[in-house]
């Protein structure tokens, strides 16, 4: 009944690539509309999106209605809030600005139950969505929840090996725009910058060698296709706003001839 939730971590580890509807807009109907088009999951962007707690809750439930898992990209350092989103039924957390093994260990400590971490108990909504009992949820939660660290700074990229070695961390997620700013010392913002592209390939190789999930934000479908071929198994395809603007421009151009 809940394999789309409890089995999503295993799917990301083994493939095929899951393409995420990146949802920054607060209006739940936007996420609903996009998920209908065949995306594999939703990522609700709390960090830079327009969400409030009610829209995060609604987004999780909308994804569930379409038997799609929902993940949340949290704010910087908001690990306590991240645990709350897992309690609400999100299957995973993407945490920005993880710059060291210590950062990754702190993230895991909040989001995994003992012996991996010290997450507090209270997943009442999550258990309602999965249909698991207390004991079943506790037994399976560490293996089914997805805890992902964003690699988007010079420090994080340099510490990649140590971050990947943290027990309980399920994978990493490349933030290419911030990484481009960091690697060029603020000279440019370009997710397709050559130095970022080289880093993306290194991150794929090291993460896959560590047996963990490698994922990334992609500005469009073309880039997502390229990274899927490198072994990335969770990729965004633009954002809800990007897709809306792209469709609007295309149809307006057709209307004007």
- Is 48 an active-site residue? yes
- Counting beta carbons within 10 angstroms of the beta carbon of residue 29, is it exposed (0 to 12), middle (13 to 18) or buried (19 or more)? exposed
Place of tokens 């945490």: 95
Q: In 3-state terms, what secondary structure has residue 234? A: strand
E runs forming strands in 64-116: 70-73, 92-95
Q: Which of 4, 48, 51, 137 is catalytic?
A: 48
Q: Which residues have CB under 8 Å from 85's CB, separation 6+?
A: 46, 56, 60, 72, 74, 93
Cβ atoms of 104 and 166 within 8 Å: the answer is yes
189 DSSP 8-state letter:
-
Please list the active-site residues: 48
């Amino acid at each position: 009944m809940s394999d789309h939730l409890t089995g999503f971590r295993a799917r990301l580890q083994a493939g095929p690539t899951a393409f995420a509807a990146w949802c920054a807009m607060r209006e739940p109907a936007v996420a609903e509309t996009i998920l209908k088009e065949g995306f594999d999951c939703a990522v609700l962007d709390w960090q830079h999106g327009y969400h409030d707690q009610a829209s995060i809750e609604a987004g999780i439930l909308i994804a569930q209605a379409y038997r799609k898992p929902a993940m949340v990209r949290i704010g910087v350092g908001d690990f306590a809030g991240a645990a709350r989103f897992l309690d609400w039924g999100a299957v995973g957390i993407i945490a920005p600005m993880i710059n060291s093994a210590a950062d990754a260990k702190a993230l895991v400590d909040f989001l995994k139950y003992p012996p991996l971490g010290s997450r507090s108990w209270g997943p009442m909504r999550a258990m309602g969505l999965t249909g698991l009992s207390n004991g079943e949820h506790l037994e399976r939660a560490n293996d089914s929840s997805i805890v992902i660290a964003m690699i988007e700074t010079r420090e994080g990229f340099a510490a990649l090996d140590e971050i990947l070695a943290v027990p309980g961390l399920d994978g990493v997620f490349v933030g290419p725009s911030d990484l481009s700013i960091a690697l060029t010392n603020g000279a440019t913002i370009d997710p397709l910058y050559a130095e970022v592209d080289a880093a993306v390939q290194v991150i794929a190789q090291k993460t896959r060698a560590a047996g963990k999930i490698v994922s990334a934000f992609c500005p469009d479908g073309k880039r997502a296709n390229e990274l899927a071929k490198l072994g990335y198994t969770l990729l965004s395809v633009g954002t809800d706003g990007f897709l809306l603007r792209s469709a609007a421009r295309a149809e307006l151009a057709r209307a004007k001839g």
